[in-house]
Structure 1
Amino acid sequence: MAEHDTEHGYLLDNRQSEAGIRFAALAELFDPVTFRHVDRLGIGAGMRCWEVGAGGASVPRGLAERVAPTGAVVATDIDVSWTRDVAGGVIEVLSHDVAADPPPPGGFDLVHARLVLVHVADRAEALRRMVQALRPGGWLLLEDADPALQPLLCPDESGPEQRLANRLRTGFRTLMAGRGADLAYGRTLPRVLREAGLEDVGADAYFPITSPACAVLEDATVRQIRHRLVGEGLATDEEVDRHLASVATGRLDLATAPLISAWGRRP
């Protein structure tokens, strides 16, 4: 998901050079989870899908493989600079604000948003528009992090490097919360879907305890926000450098916040 980096905008702006690295790491970590759910929901040839806040290209491409040749994938984001190149064939890329713009026309068999709503200020309106875009019987699949449910970058806090990593992660969460992110949103998704009138609601959660992709993600994320961490007194330059050096060793066993996947069907 991309928003302009304003005082209340998305902290991790898509236009920064680290964004592509982050998208690739998130795809490696979470695409298997996303497509396990997509396939279980029966998304296949001829269906129409709306990928909300597409960010990177991996999910639109994976959806396109499943619905081709007669289906359609509409991939939308406020900043489409990272998805523009995948337009063509069954994929249409549109610049779009899910909380402010009307849904793309046509009705969808699947509407999917991953790591989007936690950053959207008007989550309720965004959700209403996504539900409105579903065809009868269509599925809404929402996947969002819940950093408050598992707040540690290093769950095994075994030494000073791990303690520093967890303290910098606390600083990152402070910055996110200051820009309107709901750090306990993921756990609410099943209730949110039921209250929106959807049926057959279910959910699960996933997070790696350690993965090379977690280290790649952490390095890119910290480089993207270091000026804010230092500028707001949450860390010193020396601490950031020390943390990045520790991450580079590959021995910290870095985790992510749980990704909670929830799904529901429009009657």
Structure 2
Amino acid sequence: MGQGDGYLLDNRQTEAGTRFDALSELFDASTFRHFEALGIEEGWRCWEVGAGGPGVPAWLAARVGPRGRVLATDIDVSWTGAAAGAGAEVRRHDVAVDPPPPGPFDLVHARLVLVHVEDRDAALRSMVQALRPGGTLLIEDADPALQPLICPDEYGPEQRLANRLRNGFRELLRQRGADLAYGRRLPRLLRQAGLEDVRADAYFPVTSPACDALEAATVQQVRGRLVAAGLATDEEIDRHLAHVAAGRLDLATSPMISAWGRRPAPRP
């Protein structure tokens, strides 16, 4: 994932590891299902953009084998390094600023990256440029505006507090340039980038221990900013974290939109 001045959830904070673990538990199965459907096989060359944790690049490296290549990049590779031991190459890279790495690649994948990137158009162009003719781009990004509640079943004061704090968190994201309706635009953006056979689907858990872990780590990361912006008090945050720890909330994630398309091969 990106970081920089506009990125609210800094990879260098201690809670980042907990967030990566929770995101992996929540979304890896869906991501790997898409990889399987795309027919990934031994020998493929893959670029994992904004890798964050090591889980996805390690899975790719196991699938493509020694004849393949997996490049995992991020602005901050603090949590990605373990993927190197699993056979992936790890490199610091800013997808919106730096030229694409040497390819071409059979598969380029990014999850929860572009929604936070300031120059999303440049990042998308870079990923498309790195594809071989016939190669596939798979982008997975959240659409918080599509389902804005962290407690869809808002039946009491604890749930209302959770949703109010989530609104505050999303306001912080908006202030830093995040596009909270980006996920729904992905099919159109992939077509406009020249990709063919574009398809998409959506997935989001509605309650899970991993949702609780993700929420607790996220709130801890941003609590100082929430308080400083007048969006919550320390007492409200402590009360909400106690509700989460007690397992008294059915917490949902934002819908994850997965969109994929293929770079056209030259016409005979």
Same fold per superposition (TM over 0.5): yes
**Aligned residue number for residue 16 of structure 2:** 19
Query: Deviations along 1:185-236, whole A, 9 cap, x unmatched?
Result: 0000000000001001000000111111000000000000000000100000
1:238 aligns with 2:235: yes
Work out the number of aligned pairs and report it: 264
> Quick check: 1:10 aligned with 2:20?
no
2:117 corresponds to which of 115, 120, 135: 120
- RMSD, aligned CA: 0.8
Look up the equivalent residue of 1:249 and give its one-letter code. A
What secondary structure sits across from 2:118 in the alignment?
coil
1:89 Cα deviation after fit: 6.0
- The code of the aligned residue for 1:266 comes to R
Which residue, 178, 188, 192 being the options, matches 2:175?
Answer: 178
Partner secondary structure for residue 87 of structure 1: helix
Determine helix, strand or coil for the equivalent of 2:89.
Answer: strand
The one-letter code sitting in structure 2 at the alignment partner of 1:138 is G
Deviation of the 1:44 alpha carbon = 1.1
* Distance in 2 between residues matched to 1:89 and 1:207, nearest whole Å: 28
Provide the C-alpha distance between the structure 2 equivalents of 1:89 and 1:16, rounded to a whole number of angstroms.
24
Match of 2:101 in 1: 104
Aligned AA for 2:37?
A: R
Q: Given residue 145 of structure 2, which amino acid in structure 1 is its aligned partner?
A: A
* Residue of structure 1 equivalent to 2:76: 79
2-side partners of 1:227 and 1:17: how far apart? 14
Distance 1:47 1:184 in 2: 32
Please show how residues 1-267 of structure 1 align to structure 2 within 5 Å: 1-4=1-4, 6=5, 9-88=6-85, 90-267=87-264
1:124-161 Cα deviation digits (max 9, x unpaired)? 00000100000011000000000000000000001000
String of CA shifts for 1:218-263, please: whole Å, max 9, x gaps.
0000000000000100000000000000011112100000000000
Question: CA 1:89–1:237 in structure 2 vs 1: closer, same or farther (change >3 Å)?
Answer: closer
Query: Is the Cα–Cα contact under 8 Å of residues 152 and 169 in structure 1 kept in the other structure?
Result: yes
User: What is the rounded CA distance, in whole Å, between the counterparts of 2:86 and 2:224 in structure 1?
Assistant: 41
The residue type equivalent to 2:232 in the other structure is A
Distance 2:150 2:180 in 1: 15
Amino acid at match of 1:2: G
The alignment's TM-score, normalised by the length of structure 1, stands at 0.98
Tell me, in whole angstroms, the C-alpha distance in 2 between the residues paired with 1:238 and 1:209: 26
CA distance in 1, matches of 2:208, 2:234: 26
Deviation at 1:104, TM superposition (A): 1.0
Conserved? CA contact 2:95–2:126, under 8 Å: yes
> Deviation per CA, 1:14-41, whole angstroms, max 9, x where unpaired?
0000000000000000000101001100
1:42, distance to aligned residue in structure 2 (A): 0.6
Q: Runs (4+) of structure 1 moved beyond 6 Å?
A: none
- Could you tell me how far apart the structure 1 residues matched to 2:247 and 2:46 are? 38
Contact map agreement 1:54 1:60 (CA 8 A) in 2: yes
Structure 1: distance between partners of 2:233 and 2:140: 33
Matches of 1:2 and 1:245, distance apart in 2: 30
The answer as to whether partners of 1:71 and 1:90 remain within 8 angstroms in 2 is: no
Within 1, Cα distance between the matches of 2:32 and 2:86?
A: 20
- Alpha-carbon distance between aligned partners in 1 of 2:83 and 2:188, rounded to the nearest angstrom: 34
